[in-house]
């Protein structure tokens, strides 16, 4: 049985949207187009970069969002995981800067990703791309919007525009045939919402993406009629003990089963 989605107050949705914009402005103050960031950079475990902008945005969003909905737990890339979140039906899942490596190197494709998850599925999602001045948002059953305009997915026409890691794209092409291989979008959240807006037809995702990379974009995709799933066609569940996932793909409803078949081959 599906969990009942609690009603979301318009004031909450507005407040999350504005928090995303403020967070984006905080990060943008450190961004240098085509050049290294003005922020201090260091390496985390696993040799992934983090900047002082990531930490500043994370601190701001944790304080602000927790104040908006105190009963919701917290899960973020830049905050030590607290297993107490598993006892909560609702949790904020946040990536303060999705695509930190791109952000640090002056590439414009980074974003702020915020999701509110209830009983394992997102019910509110915002992905803000400050450099592109695009804010994508969705609520469960309320549709998806970009900069306030409704989003609707149109059928793709050949050749399919595919974005993702080259090995996965080549795997798809071996079964499907030639596709238009777009440059990989460094921010995974942004790669997925571009499927929702129709500028990418198929988004492919390597294993080990985390809840904070995909939860907000998952809802935005869903509300446009697109689908994000694993390669078995199963939807993702969030706020589990291990918040990471296997290989995934995102596509419109007509393409999704065909892409699943191609990736299984």
Counted residue by residue, the chain has a size of 265
Query: Considering the domain boundaries, does residue 96 fall inside one?
Result: yes
Q: Specify the pTM.
A: 0.96
Both 143 and 169 in one domain: the answer is no
Both 243 and 197 in one domain: the answer is yes
CB atoms within 10 A of CB 197: 18
How many domains is the chain partitioned into structurally?
2
Phi and psi at residue 33, in whole multiples of 5°? -55, 125
Q: What is residue 245's DSSP assignment?
A: -
Both 114 and 57 in one domain: the answer is yes
Both 56 and 167 in one domain: the answer is no
Q: How far apart are CA 55 and CA 27, in angstroms?
A: 10
Structure tokens at 128: 């803000």
Q: How far apart are CA 146 and CA 135, in angstroms?
A: 5
Give the model's pLDDT for residue 1: 39
Give the model's pLDDT for residue 153: 86
Query: Considering the domain boundaries, does residue 252 fall inside one?
Result: yes
Sheet containing 134-139: give its strands across: 73-76, 90-98, 111-118, 121-129, 134-139, 143-146, 149-150
Q: How far apart are CA 199 and CA 1, in angstroms?
A: 34
pLDDT (tens place) for every residue of the chain, 265 residues total? 355 778 898 999 999 999 999 999 999 999 999 999 999 999 987 778 999 999 999 999 999 999 999 999 999 999 999 999 999 999 999 999 999 999 999 999 999 999 999 999 999 999 999 999 999 999 999 999 999 999 988 877 889 999 999 999 999 999 999 999 999 899 999 999 999 999 999 999 999 999 999 999 999 999 999 999 999 999 999 999 999 999 999 999 999 999 999 998 6
Structure tokens at 258: 């065909």
Query: Considering the domain boundaries, does residue 4 fall inside one?
Result: no
Regarding beta strands 143-146 and 111-118, do their DSSP bridges make them parallel or antiparallel, or are they unpaired?
A: unpaired
CB 175 within 8 A of CB 262: yes
Q: How far apart are CA 5 and CA 224, in angstroms?
A: 18
Both 187 and 115 in one domain: the answer is no
Query: Considering the domain boundaries, does residue 155 fall inside one?
Result: no
Phi and psi at residue 224, in whole multiples of 5°? -100, 0
Give the model's pLDDT for residue 211: 98
CB 44 within 8 A of CB 210: no
Regarding beta strands 202-205 and 248-252, do their DSSP bridges make them parallel or antiparallel, or are they unpaired?
A: antiparallel
Give the model's pLDDT for residue 162: 98
CB 154 within 8 A of CB 107: no
Query: Considering the domain boundaries, does residue 172 fall inside one?
Result: yes
Domain span including residue 36: 10-148
Both 195 and 131 in one domain: the answer is no
Residues 6+ apart with CB under 8 A from 149: none
pLDDT digits (tens, 9 = 90+) for 145-180: 999 999 988 877 889 999 999 999 999 999 999 999
């Amino acid at each position: 049985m599906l969990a009942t989605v609690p009603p979301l107050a318009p004031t909450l949705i507005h407040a999350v949207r504005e928090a995303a914009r403020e967070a984006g402005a905080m990060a943008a103050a450190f961004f240098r187009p085509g050049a290294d960031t003005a922020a201090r950079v260091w390496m985390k475990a696993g040799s992934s970069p983090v900047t002082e902008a990531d930490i500043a945005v994370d601190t701001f969003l944790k304080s602000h969002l927790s104040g908006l909905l105190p009963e919701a737990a917290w899960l973020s890339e830049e905050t030590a995981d607290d297993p107490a979140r598993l006892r909560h039906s609702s949790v904020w899942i946040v990536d303060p800067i999705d695509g930190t490596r791109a952000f640090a190197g002056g590439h414009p494709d980074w974003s702020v990703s915020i999701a509110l998850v209830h009983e394992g599925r997102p019910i509110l999602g915002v992905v803000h791309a400050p450099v592109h001045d695009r804010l994508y948002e969705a609520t469960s059953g309320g549709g998806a919007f970009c900069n306030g305009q409704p989003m609707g997915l149109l059928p793709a026409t050949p050749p399919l525009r595919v974005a993702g890691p080259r090995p996965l794209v080549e795997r798809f092409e071996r079964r499907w045939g030639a596709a238009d291989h777009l440059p990989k979008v460094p921010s995974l959240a942004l790669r997925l919402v571009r499927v929702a807006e129709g500028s990418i037809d198929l988004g492919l995702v390597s294993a080990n993406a985390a809840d904070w990379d995909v939860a907000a974009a998952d809802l935005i995709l869903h509300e446009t009629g697109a689908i994000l799933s694993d390669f078995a066609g199963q939807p993702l569940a969030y706020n589990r003990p291990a918040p990471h996932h296997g290989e995934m793909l995102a596509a419109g409803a007509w393409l999704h089963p065909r892409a699943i078949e191609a990736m299984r081959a």
